[in-house]
Amino acid sequence: MDCPAADPEEKQSENDWLLAALDRKFAEQEKALHRLLDQVFRRDLNWGSERNSEVLLEREPMWEVQMEVKDLVAVLPSRIVEAKVSTKEDVQPKSSMKSNRRHKSLIGTQVMKEKWEPDPPLKRFVKGPLDGYMGMVVVVNLIFMIIMTQWTGSQADILLGISTSSSLNLTEHFFEISEYVFFVLFVLDVLIRVWVLRREWIYDQREGFMYLNVFDACVVVVNAFELLVLPLSRSQVSKHFFPAQIGTAAGSLLLLGSDQEQHANSIRVIKLLRIVRTLRIVKTVTIFRQLRLLVGTCIASIGALFWSMVLLMVLKVGFALIICQALQGYVLDDQQDLDTRLLVNNLYGDFGKAFYTMFEVTHSGSWPRVVRPVVDDVDALYAIPFLTYITLVVFAVIRIVTALFLKETLASAANDADMVMEDNRRMARDAQNKLEELFRAADDDGDGNLTKDEFAAAMSLPSVQGFLTSLDVSVRDCHPLFDILDDGDGLITTAEFCKGLMQLKGQARALDIFVLQRENAKLMKECQDIQRSLLHISESFRGAVK
């Protein structure tokens, strides 16, 4: 007996029920996709930062999304952190944790900084703001040293009869007091660092061996030797060699040119090395970011610099030998003009003089001053080797070396992960601020929400389209875009507007495509399960009706 035909109304209700179930399931999956992409976007925008942007809303708890994020993290390459961590013991998030003391990569150091607990306030002050304050003290001390040097030069002019009075109305006692004041400040700086940092004063888990701290201590020791030991030794020498009846003035005058005074002047020059302390500010002050890049570039190009100097050294040594041997016969010839022989001997008389002259020719740019006497007064044929050297070395080799340094600079800047992350964060903040400004301009009523009409009117303006194009956001049809940005309430908030357009910025990333592929695969599997369940229910329903 044939099965009776199904009622059309019954079949239509069954189809409606199936479509409603599918629509409901699709809506749930769409929300899951939105939340998953929101988490991926937040992680890309604020990777390595402790606070999120104000326009990003708090995350909604969802175990499916969390499982997906864990799956994605498991797929990411593990080589992003080069430092190997021991798996036998759990890593404790403490600043004083014991680990293998080896040099960490830049990314590894950044990850370690984020995982460790923050330092106490006093230690944070010593590692951060104190560097800036001491850097300012170093700059002020350098200014005092410049003023003291200028004052000493003016006193020398008075002594030589060049001038009658000094333009600086200062005394030697003033500079002595300032020297002791700066010495006390530097000693306190070293003592505070040793007392607060303790072991980290020598070796820090994040920065490695602290060379600058050791350098500071050495400079303080040299300064103490100059200010405390040398004055004592001078007084001992004065008492021993110059009795009181001779007078202290004569003793001081004779001691002025002694070896100890010359030694003190040498140590005074060494104190100029204290300016290197200001480089420590680069680690904590963000305005010196480009200076930090320049220092890193110089360090990265040490190898290229060394071999470039070797090449130039070989060229200068070879040409200096050739030109020196060629001109020594002219210098030794008694028949030639004496003044010309003296001038040529002063420039090319021996290897040392010839090498120094070739150094001037190569790097100073004043080669006509040392080449003209030879070409004009000795022999015009000497122009051939000199012009050959200037063309090949001064023009060609120097420019090749400059191009090599430029290549190293660009490569170092491109490989600086810290700089790349900072630039990405800055670009993301700038784009977000511009989108907020665009949202406020498009919000005609100022209620903080955009309706579909307001959104369509704003997106249709050529200036807005050009502005979005400059942000690398392509908008072809505003109505589907509104549906994508909207969460279902018919209005777009500031967070939805900025967050959605930032996700549309640029080309699709590999991570986005990977997320969508996994979600589409899960969605298709669930749709197939729903279809099988509905077929089973339909067969059961038909069997019950039959």
* Least trusted range by pLDDT, from 22-36, 233-247, 356-370: 233-247
Looking at the domain assignment, is residue 467 inside a domain? yes
Distance CA 379, CA 377 (A): 6
* Least trusted range by pLDDT, from 200-209, 325-334, 531-540: 200-209
Q: Is the dihedral of CA 485, 65, 526, 523 positive or negative?
A: positive
For position 22, what pLDDT does the model report? Answer: 66
Overall domain count for the chain = 4
For position 10, what pLDDT does the model report? Answer: 58
Looking at the domain assignment, is residue 99 inside a domain? no
What mean pLDDT comes out for the span 515-542? Answer: 83
Looking at the domain assignment, is residue 437 inside a domain? yes
- The residue ranking higher by pLDDT, 69 or 379, is 379
SS3 content of the chain, % helix, strand, coil (to 5): 75, 0, 25
**Mean pLDDT for the chain?**
71
HSE-CB of 226 using CA atoms within 13 angstroms? 21
For position 146, what pLDDT does the model report? Answer: 80
What is the biggest distance separating any 2 CA atoms in the chain, rounded to whole angstroms?
Answer: 148
**Count of other CB atoms within 10 angstroms of residue 405:** 16
Same domain, 409 and 424: no
Q: Is the pLDDT of residue 432 over 50?
A: yes
Looking at the domain assignment, is residue 345 inside a domain? yes
Tell me how far the alpha carbon of residue 183 is from its chain's centroid: 32
- The residue ranking higher by pLDDT, 449 or 241, is 449
What mean pLDDT comes out for the span 456-483? Answer: 76
What mean pLDDT comes out for the span 387-409? Answer: 86
- The residue ranking higher by pLDDT, 541 or 532, is 532
Same domain, 245 and 322: no
Nearest CA to 330 out of 320, 340, 318, 315 is that of: 340
For position 234, what pLDDT does the model report? Answer: 58
Same domain, 486 and 512: no
- The residue out of 381, 415, 449 marking a domain boundary is 415
Q: Is the pLDDT of residue 63 over 60?
A: no
Same domain, 428 and 373: no
For position 539, what pLDDT does the model report? Answer: 80
- Please enumerate, as own/partner, the contacts of 25-32 that have beta carbons within 8 Å and a separation of 24 or more: 25/526, 25/527, 25/530, 26/523, 29/519, 29/522, 29/523, 29/526, 32/62, 32/64, 32/65, 32/519
Looking at the domain assignment, is residue 497 inside a domain? yes
Nearest CA to 347 out of 382, 300, 312, 305 is that of: 382
| Per-residue exposure over 353-390, b if at least 16 CB sit within 10 Å of its own CB, e if not | bbbebbeebbeeeebeebbebbbebbeeebeeebeebb
DSSP state of 60: P
Looking at the domain assignment, is residue 63 inside a domain? yes
Distance CA 546, CA 541 (A): 8
Distance CA 363, CA 359 (A): 6
- The residue out of 415, 433, 448 marking a domain boundary is 415
Q: What DSSP letter does each residue of 479-522 carry, written as one string?
A: HHHHHHH--SSS-EEHHHHHHHHHHTSSSPPHHHHHHHHHHHHH
State what percent of residues in the chain have pLDDT above 70.
Answer: 60
Q: Is the pLDDT of residue 328 over 80?
A: yes
Three-state secondary structure along 462-477? HHHHHHHHHCCCCCCC
Cβ proximity of 514 and 530 under 8 Å: no
Looking at the domain assignment, is residue 211 inside a domain? yes
Angle at CA 465, nearest 5°, toward 463 and 471? 105
**Count of other CB atoms within 10 angstroms of residue 11:** 12
Cβ proximity of 413 and 297 under 8 Å: yes
Distance CA 451, CA 307 (A): 66
User: According to the per-residue pLDDT averaged within each range, which of 156-165, 409-418, 469-478 is highest?
Assistant: 156-165
* Beta pairing class for 208-209 and 449-450: unpaired
Q: In this structure, what CATH number is given to the domain that contains residue 483?
A: 1.10.238.10
Same domain, 403 and 423: no
- What domain range includes position 205? 121-283
pLDDT range class, residue 319, cuts 50, 70, 90: very high
Same domain, 332 and 365: yes
Give whole-number Cα distances, 110 to 302, 413, 419, in Å: 25, 18, 12
Tokens of 86: 């021991």
User: According to the per-residue pLDDT averaged within each range, which of 217-221, 345-349, 470-474 is highest?
Assistant: 345-349
Same domain, 211 and 278: yes
Distance CA 251, CA 366 (A): 47
Per residue in 80-105, pLDDT (tens digit) is 333 333 333 343 444 444 344 434 44
Q: Is the pLDDT of residue 510 over 70?
A: no
Nearest CA to 317 out of 264, 278, 280, 362 is that of: 362
Distance CA 66, CA 69 (A): 5
- The residue out of 255, 283, 311 marking a domain boundary is 283
Same domain, 389 and 441: no
Same domain, 347 and 402: yes
pLDDT range class, residue 289, cuts 50, 70, 90: low
**Type of residue at 113:** K
Same domain, 409 and 477: no
**Type of residue at 93:** P
Same domain, 57 and 178: no
- The residue ranking higher by pLDDT, 488 or 106, is 488
Same domain, 406 and 430: no
Looking at the domain assignment, is residue 342 inside a domain? yes
Three-state secondary structure along 172-210? HHHHHHHHHHHHHHHHHHHHHHHHHHHHHHCEECCCEEC
Q: Is the pLDDT of residue 369 over 50?
A: yes
Cβ proximity of 132 and 278 under 8 Å: no
Per residue in 45-57, pLDDT (tens digit) is 444 444 444 333 3
Q: What DSSP letter does each residue of 122-164 carry, written as one string?
A: HHHHHHTHHHHHHHHHHHHHHHHHHHHHHHHHHHHHHHHTS-S
